[in-house]
Amino acid sequence: MSRKLHTFKGGVHPPEHKAESNARPVHAAPLPKQLVIPLRQHIGNPAKPVVEVGQRVLKGQLIGAADGYISAAVHASSSGIVTAIGPAVVPHASGLPDDCIIIDTDGRDEWISLAPLDYRAMEPADLRMRLRDLGLAGLGGAVFPSAVKLDPGAAHHCPTLILNGAECEPWITCDDVLMRLHADDILQGVAIMRHLLGSTEILVGIEDNKPEALASMRFAAAKLDFAVEVVAVPTIYPAGGAKQMIEILTGQQVPSGKLSTDIGIQVFNIGTAHALARAVHHGEPLISRLVTVTGFVLRPQNVEALIGTPLHTLITLAGDREGSTGVLMGGPMMGMPMPDLAVPVVKATNCILVQSAELFPPLPKALPCIRCTRCADACPAELQPQELFRFAKAGDFGRAQEYHLFDCIECGCCSYVCPSHIPLVDFYRYAKSEIWAREKEKRAADLARERHEFRQFRLEREKQEKAEKLAAKAKAKRAELAAAPAAEGAPSEADAKKALIAAALARAQAKKAEAAPKNIDHLPPDTQREIEEIEARRAKIRELARQPLESEEKP
Amino acid sequence: MFTAILVMVGLAVIIGLVLGWSAIRFKVEGNPLAEKIDAILPQTQCGQCGFPGCRPYAEAIAKGEADINQCPPGGEEGVKKLAELLGVEPKPLDESHGTPKPKSVAFIDEQICIGCTLCIQACPVDAIVGAAKQMHTIVADECTGCELCLPPCPVDCITMVPIAEDLPHWKWKAPVIMLKKVS
Amino acid sequence: MPAPFILDRSSVTQVMAWVLAALLPGIAVYVWLFGPGILVTLSLATVTALVAEAAMLKARGYPAKPFLTDLSAIVTAWLLALSLPALAPWWLIVTGTLFAIVVAKHLYGGLGQNIFNPAMVGYAVLIVSFPLQMTQWPGPLSLTDAPLTLAQSASVIFGGDLPKAMLDAVTMATPLDALRTGLLQQLTVDEIMVQPIFGHYGGIGFEWLAGAFLLGGLLLWALRIISWQVPLAFLAGIWLAAGFLHFFDAGRFGAPWFHLFAPSVMLGAFFIATDPVSGSTTPRGRLIFGFGAGLLTIIIRTWGGYPDGVAFAILLMNLSVPLIDAWTQPRIYGGATRRGKAPPA
C-alpha cells in the first residue's frame, strides 16, 4: 500500500512477546458452574437487572437492561438459574465489589430464539437502540457503548472510519488471532458501521508485526464491494491508542478536549466490528469474546470465553504453573492486577497475563526525579510528565490541570522509560481522581449553599407574607368596626381597639367550643361515668398540688 | 522651597484623583473576602462554628470576629486553605467546636417516624421531604450530614450513616515513594 | 503496584556512568598535554565527594547504597576538578567539593532537588574566595622545560613544597588570563595573540582539550543522554556574542573561535549546562537557557572581574529556569493552547 504514513511523537518499543500465544489454535473455554455477570461493564450507567433471583434464564437472554443513552445491556452467557443479584468481586483496580447477576449454569447451554436484524431496512436510531440492547460495547479496552459511537450526530455522516487492529500492548494477541480467523466477519461489521456512519473512507490499521493478520484482512477486503484500505503501521507502543492511530493514518490530531468525530473520524476496535456483525446478522448479544491467556502458563493461547467466566477457569485451561506472582487483566503497560482469581471475564477483558518473578521482576525502588525529560520524549500526548509528577506529588492539582493532566492517556510510556523508576502513571491517576472528587465535593457544596440560601429566602418570605396577611386582616377588621359605630355616633380609636379585642375574644371562644373533643359525645353511660371519675380524680390531685404551696406560703 | 511644596501638593492631587477614580471604576459589590471564605467552607450549614450557617461564619472571619479553626467538617485541610487565603499561620482545629467525622448522610427509620415535621424545619438545606403525620424521608444527594435534624426528633428515628466507599466513589490512593530508611 | 509492570533498562546510574565515560577522552588529552597532575585532583575530588555524600545521606536519614551507586556525586566531583587548575592545592579541591556536595546539593534536598549545578557552585565559591590559587594552571607540556611527574604533582597539590621558581616555570596564565591581562595593559588582541600560549583557535593544548570534550559531548548526544538544544544554543550564544563584538572592534575583543575553543566552554556546553536537574526541561526553554548562558559568558569574560564566565553564566541561567520553563511549555497533542480545562466528569 502506498499510503503516506505519519508518526506520532513519543512512544516506546517494549519486547513484544506475541509469539507465545498467537500460534496455538483457539479453544472455547469450558462452561463454568457459575457465571458472575457484572452490571457495570461499560462506560456510562450500569445496567438495571430485569430478572429475579430463582428465575431460569436462557443463553442470550436479557438480564440487565440499558439505563439511559450512554449504557449497554447485559445478557446471560449460558442457560441456568439466577441465584443472586448483588455485590460480588469484579475486575477493578480497587478490588471493591460491585453489583452482579450470578447464574448457576445448568449445562444445557440453551439459547433463546435469535432473529437477525435487517439493518438496511431499519431506522438508524432503532438499529442503534437494538445494538444497545444487544449489549454492544467497544472491545478494545475502554468499553464505550458502541451504539453511541455509531451515531454520527448532527453532521449526519462521519467521512473516515478507522478500524484499529494495532494491538500494540505486548503479550496480547486476541485481535491478531481474530483477524486471522474471522476477517470476513469483521468486514461484515465494518459494512454495518459504514452504513450507520455514512463513511466514505475506510482504513484498517494493523501493526506490521502481524503479517498473517494483514494478509488475511487484505484478502477479505478484496472481496468486498466497497473500498477498505488495510494499512500496515509501524510497530510502536501506543500505536493502538485511538488518537495515535488517527495521527498515523491521517496525519491529523484530535483537538484536545474534543472527540475524533469533531474532525470527522471514528475509530473502532476490530473485535467490536466482529461483535457487531454477530449481533446484526445472527441477532446474537455480546456474551463471549476472545481472551489471550498468556505469560507464566504452560500453553499460552487464545480462548473464546463466555462473559462471566471466572479467570481461574481460563488459567487452568492454559495450564497453571507453580510460582506465579500475580495475574494481570490486560497487558503489562496498562493492565491491572487482579485481587482475586474468581473475578469474571468482562467485555473489557482482552488478556489474562499470569506473572512470574522471572518474566516480571519486581520493579526497582524509585529514586528522585532528575528532570532528564525522557518521559517527555516518550509521551505520546506530548505532555511534560516530569512537571505533572512534581505537581501531583506536591498536591498542587490546579497546576497539574493547567499543564493538561487530563490529556494524559495513562499509556505508561513515561514510567517505562523513567531512569529513576518512578511510578509516574500512579501519580497521574491519583491526581485525576482527587480532582474529580474535589469537583464533586464542590458541586455538592454549591448545591448546599444554594439550597440553604433559598431556604433563608423562603423563611424570610413566609414571615413577610404572614405579617402582610395579618396586617391586611387587621386593617379590614378595623375598617369594618369603624364602619359599624359610625352609624351609632362618634367613633374613637379606643373604642375601635376595644371592639377589636372583644371580637377576637369571641372568635377564640367560638374556636374553643369548636375544638372541644368530639369523641366524648354520645358515650355509653359506663364510659361516661369512667370519664367523670377520672376528671374528679384530676381535680382532687390539682387541689392537692395546690395545698402545700399555700401552706408553705402562709407562715 | 515654594516649588517643592507645589510639586508635593500637585502630586497629592493627582494621586488622590487616580485613587478616587479607581475606587469608582473598580468598585466591588459586597464583601469579596467573605465570599472567598464562603467558597472554601464546606457548606454543611451545621452551625458547629457557633454561627447560624456557613455564610455568617465567613462574614465573621472576614471581619476578624471569628477564628479560622472552628469548622470541623472542613477539617485540617479547610483550615489550611483558609490560612492560605488570609495569609496567616494554620492552626489545629478548635476541639471545642467538635471533631471531624467521616462524611455521612442522615437516614430516617421510616418504621419509627411519626411525621412530626420537626426535622423538616431543622434541615438547613431542605433535604427532608414529608408532611405532617406523613412519614419523612431524606434526599441523600442533598443531605450535607450536618446532624441538625437529630436533636429535634422526638422519637430518635434519625441515624447518621457514613458514606461507604463503592466503585463510583473510589479514589486512587496517593502513591508513596519510600526514599528514606524505614526506621 | 499498578501498571506498567515492565521497565526499560535505563537507570540513573547508567546515565551518570555514560557522562563519566564521555569525560574520559577529555581527561586523556588533559594528561597527555598538561601532565598527570589532573589525575591527583580528580581522585581527591572523587574521594571527598563520596565521603561528603555518605555523611550527608546518613545525617539526612537516607539509605547510602542507592544514592552512592547512582554516581551523581562522582560526576559533580569530576566536573569541578576539570574546572579547577590542575595544580590547585588540596584544600582548595576539598573545600570546593565539600561546598558543592554539602551545600549546593544536599542542603537543597539532594539528588534531583538542587536548583544550581553543584560543581559550578563549588567553582564559584572558590574563584570568589581564592582567586590567586585558582590561577595555578600547569602550562602545556610543549611550553614547559621540566614537566612534573605524577609524584611531583601530588607533592605540589598536597604540600605546595615546590620552590617558587619551579612552580612559576610549570604554571602559566591560561589563554583567557593572558588575553585579559594584555587587554588591561592596553594591548590589542593581535599583539596579545603572538604570545606562545596561543595556538590556532584557542590556546596551545587547550584547543585539543576543548576538542576532546566536544567529542565526549557528541557521544552523549548520540546516546540521547543530552539534548542538542542546550549545547548548540550555548555555543551559538558564545559565537554570536563574541563574533558581534569582534566584528565591531577586532582590536579589543577576542575572535569568536578563540572564545569557543577555551576548554571551559566545551565542558560547560556539553556537560554542565546540560545538567538536567538544574537546567530547563522544555525544548524551547533549553534553547533560551543555552543561548542566555553563552551570551552571559561573553559578557562576563569581556566586562566582568573574573577571567572566565561560564560558571557564573550557568548559575545565573539556573536561577531563571522556573520562569523559562513556565513560559515555554510546549504545545501538547491536539494543540490545546489555552490553559486549564474543566475535567471531564
Confirm whether A140 is domain-assigned: yes
**So what's the pLDDT on residue C288?**
96
CB atoms A94 and B170 under 8 Å: yes
Q: Are residues B71 and B58 in the same domain?
A: yes
How close is the nearest chain A Cα to the Cα of C331, in Å?
A: 7
Mutate to test the interface with C, among B181, B182, B183 (most CBs of C within 10 A): B181
C90 touches chain B (CB under 8 A): no
Cβ neighbours, 10 Å, residue A117:
18
- Out of A335, A356, A377, pick the residue that ends a domain: A356
DSSP letters spanning C184-249:
HTT--HHHHTTSTTB-SSSBTTHHHHHHHHHHHHHHHHHTTSS-SHHHHHHHHHHHHHHHHHHHH-
Q: C344 pLDDT band (50/70/90 cuts)?
A: very low
Q: In the sheet where A56-57 sits, what is the strand order? A: A34-38, A97-105, A80-89, A56-57
A41: Cα within 13 Å, side-chain hemisphere: 35
CB atoms A365 and B142 under 8 Å: no
CB atoms B53 and A452 under 8 Å: yes
Partners of residue B167 in chain A, C-beta under 8 Å: 40, 90, 92, 94, 96, 98
Q: C200 pLDDT band (50/70/90 cuts)?
A: low
**pLDDT over 60 at A553, yes or no:** no
CB-based burial, A260-274: b 16+ in 10 Å, e otherwise: bbebbbbbbbbbbbb
Confirm whether A473 is domain-assigned: yes
Lowest mean per-residue pLDDT among A134-138, A315-319, C14-18, C147-151 = C147-151
From the list C233, C231, C309, C232, the residue with the least C-alpha distance to C264 is C309
Summarize pLDDT for A472-515 with one digit per residue, the tens. 999 888 888 877 765 555 556 667 677 777 887 888 777 766 66
Q: C267 pLDDT band (50/70/90 cuts)?
A: very high
The domain spanning residue B118 has which CATH number? 3.30.70.20
AA letter at C238: I
Average predicted confidence (pLDDT) for chain A: 89
**pLDDT over 70 at B101, yes or no:** yes
Cβ neighbours, 10 Å, residue C7:
20
User: Could you tell me where the beta strands, DSSP code E, fall in chain B?
Assistant: 104-108, 128-129, 137-138, 158-162
Q: A363 pLDDT band (50/70/90 cuts)?
A: confident
Report the pLDDT averaged over residues C181-194.
78
The domain spanning residue A278 has which CATH number? 3.40.50.11540
CB atoms A406 and C2 under 8 Å: no
Mutate to test the interface with A, among B41, B177, B179, B181 (most CBs of A within 10 A): B177
Confirm whether A73 is domain-assigned: no
Confirm whether A301 is domain-assigned: yes
User: Closest chain B residue to C57 measured between Cα atoms?
Assistant: B180
**pLDDT over 80 at B142, yes or no:** yes
**So what's the pLDDT on residue C252?**
81
**pLDDT over 70 at B30, yes or no:** no
- Out of A339, A356, A373, pick the residue that ends a domain: A356
**So what's the pLDDT on residue A493?**
64
Lowest mean per-residue pLDDT among A398-402, A460-464, B86-90 = B86-90
Instruction: Give yes or no for a contact between C107 and A362, defined as CB atoms under 8 angstroms apart.
Output: no
- Out of B97, B112, B144, pick the residue that ends a domain: B97
Confirm whether A231 is domain-assigned: yes
Confirm whether B69 is domain-assigned: yes
Instruction: Give yes or no for a contact between A370 and C274, defined as CB atoms under 8 angstroms apart.
Output: no
**So what's the pLDDT on residue C338?**
42
Confirm whether B176 is domain-assigned: no
Partners of residue C344 in chain A, C-beta under 8 Å: 406
User: Closest chain A residue to B54 measured between Cα atoms?
Assistant: A449
**pLDDT over 80 at B183, yes or no:** no
**So what's the pLDDT on residue A365?**
86
**So what's the pLDDT on residue B131?**
84
**pLDDT over 70 at C145, yes or no:** no
From the list A271, A244, A254, the residue with the least C-alpha distance to A138 is A271
Summarize pLDDT for A404-436 with one digit per residue, the tens. 999 999 999 999 999 999 999 999 999 999 999
Q: Are residues A307 and A380 in the same domain?
A: no
**So what's the pLDDT on residue A389?**
95
A262 touches chain B (CB under 8 A): no
Summarize pLDDT for C92-103 with one digit per residue, the tens. 999 999 999 999
Q: Work out the burial of residue C295: count CB atoms within 10 Å of its CB; fewer than 13 is exposed, 13-18 middle, 19 or more buried.
A: buried
Partners of residue B44 in chain A, C-beta under 8 Å: 448
Q: C248 pLDDT band (50/70/90 cuts)?
A: confident
**pLDDT over 50 at B53, yes or no:** yes
Contacts A–B by Cβ distance under 8 A: 74
Q: C193 pLDDT band (50/70/90 cuts)?
A: confident
d(CA B91, CA B41): 16
From the list A72, A227, A263, the residue with the least C-alpha distance to A152 is A263
Q: Are residues B91 and B105 in the same domain?
A: no
Give the residue with greater pLDDT, A551 vs C89: C89
**So what's the pLDDT on residue A518?**
57
Q: Are residues A215 and A279 in the same domain?
A: yes
Q: Where are the domains positioned within chain C?
A: 10-172, 209-327
**So what's the pLDDT on residue C335?**
77
Main-chain phi, psi angles of B17, to 5 degrees:
-65, -45
The domain spanning residue B78 has which CATH number? 1.10.15.40
Confirm whether A170 is domain-assigned: yes
Q: A551 pLDDT band (50/70/90 cuts)?
A: very low
Q: CA dist B174 to A306, A394, A442, Å?
A: 36, 11, 20
From the list C231, C223, C212, the residue with the least C-alpha distance to C274 is C231
Q: What are the residues whose beta carbons fall under 8 Å from the beta carbon of A184, sequence distance 6 or more?
A: A220, A223
Summarize pLDDT for A258-309 with one digit per residue, the tens. 888 888 999 999 999 999 999 999 999 999 999 999 999 999 999 999 999 9
**pLDDT over 50 at C275, yes or no:** yes
Q: Are residues B91 and B36 in the same domain?
A: yes
**What is the total count of domains within chain B?**
2
Task: Calculate helix-pair angle for B54-63, A424-488, nearest 10 degrees.
Answer: 100
AA letter at C242: A
DSSP state of C122: H
**What is the total count of domains within chain A?**
2
Mutate to test the interface with A, among C333, C337, C338, C341 (most CBs of A within 10 A): C333
CB contact residues (below 8 A), chain B span 51-70, against chain C: none
A455 touches chain B (CB under 8 A): yes
Contacts B–C by Cβ distance under 8 A: 8
Chains in touch with B (3+ beta-carbon pairs under 8 Å) read: A, C
Q: Are residues A161 and A245 in the same domain?
A: yes
Give the residue with greater pLDDT, C171 vs A144: A144
Report the pLDDT averaged over residues B129-154.
86
H/E run at residue A355: strand A351-356
**So what's the pLDDT on residue A511?**
72
CB atoms C8 and A360 under 8 Å: no
Partners of residue C114 in chain A, C-beta under 8 Å: none
Q: Are residues A190 and A329 in the same domain?
A: yes
**So what's the pLDDT on residue A540?**
79
Q: Are residues A427 and A309 in the same domain?
A: no
C130 touches chain B (CB under 8 A): no
Summarize pLDDT for A1-36 with one digit per residue, the tens. 468 899 999 999 999 999 999 888 998 999 999 999
Q: Which domain holds residue A172?
A: 19-30+127-356
Confirm whether B170 is domain-assigned: no
Q: Are residues B115 and B141 in the same domain?
A: yes
Q: Which domain holds residue B138?
A: 101-164
Q: A178 pLDDT band (50/70/90 cuts)?
A: very high
Summarize pLDDT for A70-124 with one digit per residue, the tens. 999 999 999 999 999 999 999 988 888 999 999 999 999 999 999 899 999 999 8
d(CA A464, CA A466): 5
**So what's the pLDDT on residue B94?**
84
Report the pLDDT averaged over residues C220-224.
93
User: Closest chain C residue to A404 measured between Cα atoms?
Assistant: C340
DSSP letters spanning A135-197:
T-B-SSSS--BHHHHT--GGGS--SEEEEEE---STT--HHHHHHHH-HHHHHHHHHHHHHHH
CB contact residues (below 8 A), chain C span 32-61, against chain B: 61
* Candidates A372, A412, A436; nearest CB to C15: A372
**pLDDT over 80 at C171, yes or no:** no
d(CA C47, CA C150): 18
Q: A550 pLDDT band (50/70/90 cuts)?
A: very low
- Out of A356, A371, A389, pick the residue that ends a domain: A356
Q: What are the residues whose beta carbons fall under 8 Å from the beta carbon of C332, sequence distance 6 or more?
A: A256, A381, A382, A383, A404, A407
Q: Are residues A195 and A335 in the same domain?
A: yes
**So what's the pLDDT on residue A2?**
61
How close is the nearest chain C Cα to the Cα of B175, in Å?
A: 9
Confirm whether B172 is domain-assigned: no
